[in-house]
Chain A
Amino acid sequence: MNLATDLCGIPLASPVLNGSGTFDAIAARRAFGDAVIEEFPFAAYVSKTITRHPRAGNPPHRLWETPSGMINSIGLPNPGLDDFLTGILLEFTRLPVPLIVSVMADSAEEFAELVEAVSAVSGVAGIELNVSCPNVHSGLIVGEQPVETEALMKALRPLTDLPMIIKLTPNVANPHEVAAAAEAGGADAISLINTLKSMAIDPANGRAWLGAGAGGLSGPAVRPVALAQVRAVSQAVEIPVVGMGGIDDAESALDFILAGARVVAVGTENFRDPRAGINVKNGLEGALGRRGFASLADAQASTLS
């Protein structure tokens, strides 16, 4: 079965991407060798989030296991824009799939700098905007506020011809309103969900376990929440939706497509199985057939009753 599709003009051999920050292609190549490149697990590669300046990330502890999931509090460690442009970005552009660069900033000015710099590099197919960070001017988390979100998109839209995908936080009551505002501001696609705000208590001393106090929940534990939000958002916008949240096999990936996502992303499952993306893709034909779809396009076009 032909699983080829596209995401706002980016051609994809299958509808399976990775969630940002859940697969380090360079570290994976070090661990597994060239097999990772020859059998690259995703139809497009979404980079770990890059910020203007280097970040070391949060102090340990950074992980906590939950039933059917985990909490992470990583804190977006990255080399910063300058080193990214001259270093790992060049390695990413040599991957055999389209590259989507994830960026985050705490002001529209810094976002603009990131978007312009990344757009100037040949081999970048798209930009994902991580808007789960407070704006230094307003103190508000951009992705939680429709007004802030639309203003940011309008500021960035003239700066690039590349598709801009906005990654939404699930920690809001109205994700569909934020998504509609992003669309009105010029976003080309919506991706969701990011992790659910959560925490863990250290059984040894009764204090917060994570070094940063709180973190984000991911894995199959969040899948029903993610499905509901993907459904609500895809009904509210015309632009395509990248659905994610606890996808661990082809059946759960297809659930997201039926909820309204055009393509999906695998995140936490990559930690459990480095071939998770391949397994999801390879299982899609069977999953589509079992649910009576003749093609991926049929499933993408279907609407839940």
Chain B
Amino acid sequence: MPTERPQAPFNRRDCRVAESHAAGGYRIFTLIDEEGPEPAPGQFYMLTTSGAAPGFAGRPFLPRAISVARVTGSRGSLRLEFLIDEVGPGTVQMAKLGSGDSCGLAGPFGSPFSMPKELNPDAVGAVLVGGGIGIAPMAVLRRHLVSRGVPTRTLLGFRDQAHSGGVDELFGCEETRLAYEDGSSGHRGYVTDLLLQILTGDDTGGAVIYTCGPPAMLEAVRVLAAGHGVPVELALESPMACGFGACFGCVVPKTGGGYLRLCVDGPVVRGDEITTAMAGEAAVGVEKDVRTRSE
């Protein structure tokens, strides 16, 4: 049976910020959602802040698509934790939010990750590969799989210590293997080096790979998985205006021609649904715009 996709309440609702704190170079902030269902791993929300960010000339205008990094509580008082990197006006405004403030929330939206046996009937375990801010959906998925008894190995990669916020908090002391490009901790190099060790060292017949991170990492994982015949699901990112299929802005080319809308056909896609993960470039058009930032 395919993984169920929870439906969002038909609204954008104001949610109370319960808490916000720095986590490495990132921030984690928590919203209390009193209305929505528990999201499935891989789903995302559209977050709306009020006011313009200093130095960004009247932006943000659009809501921002953000994956949830941890979900606790239950329906009626869900605690949704978001891991954010201040890269543009939307996330700058989110980072200013403190306890008692309000933030607009719509969702959860999008396709969730499949369970391993949906991708491979013979699956016996999962390998999670996260990079940078993309560790957030991996954290949710890891807890989901572990709580269901799925043997799970987690590989996380970071540029440096400043870009590894949230790793201790979201993954705790659970066994994870880390790679830092600058060699400051763990394996010196790319997280895909660690994935390659697993793919070449083990019997991978029962493995399934899940991944989220920067486009170049996703593409490397997609190619490695395909080369070893291992099913893979990727959580992609794209500039997005609405989150629920209205704007047709968040597309990536799909196998066989045409495009997928990442908000309704994704953000989680199978490796064989796309021809490259590089098209799902970070959400620059909507969020990142360093040139106009005067701070």
Contacts and interface: CB of A to CB of B under 8 A. Distances in A.
Does chain A bind chain B? yes
B117 to A, nearest CB: 24
B61 A219 contact: yes
A96 interface: no
Contacts of B258: 56, 77
A33 B253 CA distance: 27
Given A65-B61, A272-B62, A30 B247 contact: no
Nearest to A54: B258
Interface string A44-72: 00000000000011011111111111101
A70 B61 contact: yes
Q: How large is the interface on B (under 10, 10 to 19, 20 to 34, 35 or more residues)?
A: 35 or more
B10 A39 contact: yes
B36 to A, nearest CB: 11
Interface stretch (A20-28, A126-134, A176-184): A20-28
B9 A271 contact: no
A63 B8 contact: no
Interface string B41-77: 0000000100010000111111100000000000000
A173 interface: no
A55 to B, nearest CB: 10
A273 interface: yes
B264 A203 contact: no
Interface residues on A, range: 35 or more
B201 interface: no
A72 B244 CA distance: 16
A24 B291 CA distance: 34
Nearest to B48: A272
Contacts of B285: 61, 63-65, 200, 209
Interface string B280-295: 0100111101111000
Interface of A: 21-24, 26-28, 30-33, 35-36, 39, 56-57, 59-70, 72, 74, 77, 200, 202-204, 209, 219, 268, 270-275
